[in-house]
Amino acid sequence: MSKNLTTREEDYSKWYNELVVKADLAENSGVRGCMVIKPYGYAIWEKMQAELDRMFKETGHQNAYFPLFVPKSMFEAEEKNAEGFAKECAIVTHYRLKNDPENSGKLIVDPNAKLEEELIVRPTSEAIIWSTYKGWIQSYRDLPLLINQWANVVRWEMRTRLFLRTAEFLWQEGHTAHATKAEALEESEKMMNVYADFAENFMAIPVIKGLKTETERFAGAEETYCIEALMQDGKALQAGTSHFLGQNFAKAFDVKFANAEGKQEHVWGTSWGVSTRLMGALVMTHSDDKGLILPPSLAPIQVVIVPIYKNDEQLEAISNEVDVLVKAFKKLNISVKYDNRTTQKPGFKFAEWELKGVPVRIAVGPKDLENGTFEVARRDILTKEVVSKEGVVTYISDLLAQIQKDLFQKALDYRNTHITEVNCFEEFKTVLNGEGGFVSAHWDGTAETEEKIKELTKATIRCIPLDRVEESGRCVFTGNASSGRVLFAKAY
């Protein structure tokens, strides 16, 4: 391993950027704003995909695939959505290159190959999907239509950061159609709950469920449910959104169905998505100054075994012992790596696997062979224990479950101690400029106040928590009446 990471204390943002690259998760590419997801990072993403995909299918959804391109006329059919994405989209205008007559060996865009209609690279797929649904939905028997897509999307962001904000990113987008408003609302809420379940129980990231304000809502949605997480630097991160689209897209694309009485009605819609942004949330929730900390459920390698030896004979004896262990782990579906590289010393290997966040490390030396023991180290709290080889497999299996739980609890404790109720604007600013976190405050419900607070403090309303209690109070900024608190924070 090269020199140490910048610490979080020194520069949180730099720590994050360094960690993502050094731990082999991702790197910037030669294409502006686009990242390369490296094999180790992609292996984590694949685990997220597999679990989410299982959850979507369990709740009755099917996967499908829709085109990458959206013709401009289709893109602009739902006006609010179009307006929301028009300022940051990649546009295909030509379909051929030709040899540059003035510069041999070079290619230029062929002006004779201009498209009649420009194509937008999808920033999200509501337009293309609802234009397709028109052909799929005739009667109430065709509903609900519950579809998900795994895809890449492009938003021309000016300032990009690995995973958190990139011009191209990977995501899934669910798009459903329903016969009634109630059913569509239920679906939106259900998928927010699926995301929260996934974040908390699989990624060990505690989240707050809530509704977005009108200002922060998805362009084209009537209501946006979200889950909001808190990073270690006190900034919030939106980890997933689920939108109730009302009949907006059904009206824009003329998607109607005959109800049981034969009457034509517009369909009700939802859409919901999570993206590779979750990789950023994962890194920033759990990791420390030594590197990544991965919850066992997401770790491509859950256990790494490092032999400590002075000669080939010792290595052979250790390897024989380890072979048995590896087989036992594989039987339990525990993913294990025996790092028997002869080119690197144990200290180097320890640092490397710490950097990469492998939850459990086992070290075995000649002493251990004599004593029938292993040295077991936890990555999350950096403790070591000597464990007898009898029962070590069960011990590790239980330990992985314990680590998963502990990581969630630690993140939850941090989050809970970083929700501060404030009742005046001075306090509001003091908290935001100090420890940060969520600030729970009364707000008068106007977009104007929201905007002013944002201008003055950079904090936005992350959500109106679903579990908030009705409480009459005075807006922290204007002093106008308010019926409950909302959560503000600076956010990624």
Binding site for a copy of itself (CB under 8 A): 27, 29-31, 34-39, 42-43, 45-46, 62-72, 74-76, 79, 82, 86-98, 105-107, 109, 118-121, 128, 131-132, 135, 141, 147, 151-152, 154, 156, 168, 170, 343
364 and 321 in contact (C-beta within 8 Å)? yes
Q: Which is nearer to a copy of itself, 118 or 200 (CB)?
A: 118
Indicate the residue type of 221: A
358 and 300 in contact (C-beta within 8 Å)? no
Helix extents (H) in 224-345: 248-252, 277-286, 312-331
Least separation in angstroms between CB 56 and a copy of itself: 12
Least separation in angstroms between CB 294 and a copy of itself: 17
Residue 148's DSSP bridge partners are 63, 174
Q: Which is nearer to a copy of itself, 276 or 285 (CB)?
A: 276
Would you state the structure tokens that stand for residue 315, as one six-digit string? 């290595």
Least separation in angstroms between CB 147 and a copy of itself: 7
Residue identified by tokens 């976190």 is 437
Q: Which is nearer to a copy of itself, 342 or 383 (CB)?
A: 342
Residue 465's DSSP bridge partners are 210
CB-count burial class (<10 Å; 0-12, 13-18, 19+) for 264: exposed
Would you state the structure tokens that stand for residue 278, as one six-digit string? 């979750």
Beta strand 438-442 with 419-421 is parallel
Q: Which is nearer to a copy of itself, 20 or 154 (CB)?
A: 154
Q: At what angle do helices 447-457 and 425-433 cross, to 10 degrees?
A: 50
Least separation in angstroms between CB 333 and a copy of itself: 15
What DSSP string runs through 450-484? HHHHHHHHS-EEEEEETTPPP--EE-TTT--EESS
For residue 39, cis peptide bond before it (omega within 30 degrees of 0): no
Q: Which is nearer to a copy of itself, 34 or 308 (CB)?
A: 34
Least separation in angstroms between CB 419 and a copy of itself: 36
Q: Which is nearer to a copy of itself, 137 or 154 (CB)?
A: 154
End-to-end CA distance of the chain: 29
3-state secondary structure of 267: coil
Least separation in angstroms between CB 43 and a copy of itself: 7
Q: Which is nearer to a copy of itself, 124 or 457 (CB)?
A: 124
Q: Which is nearer to a copy of itself, 94 or 330 (CB)?
A: 94
Residue identified by tokens 């950079």 is 458
Q: CB neighbours of 151 closer than 8 A, spacing ≥ 6?
A: 65, 66, 68, 122, 125, 170, 171, 172, 173
Least separation in angstroms between CB 255 and a copy of itself: 13
* Longest Cα–Cα distance in the chain: 83
Pick left, alpha or beta for residue 5 (phi over 0 → left; psi -120 to 50 → alpha; otherwise beta). beta
Least separation in angstroms between CB 259 and a copy of itself: 16
Least separation in angstroms between CB 3 and a copy of itself: 18
Q: Which is nearer to a copy of itself, 46 or 421 (CB)?
A: 46
Least separation in angstroms between CB 386 and a copy of itself: 34
Q: Which is nearer to a copy of itself, 61 or 485 (CB)?
A: 61
Q: How many residues does the chain have?
A: 492
- Distance in angstroms (rounded) separating the CA atoms of residues 473 and 441: 9
Would you state the structure tokens that stand for residue 471, as one six-digit string? 């409480």
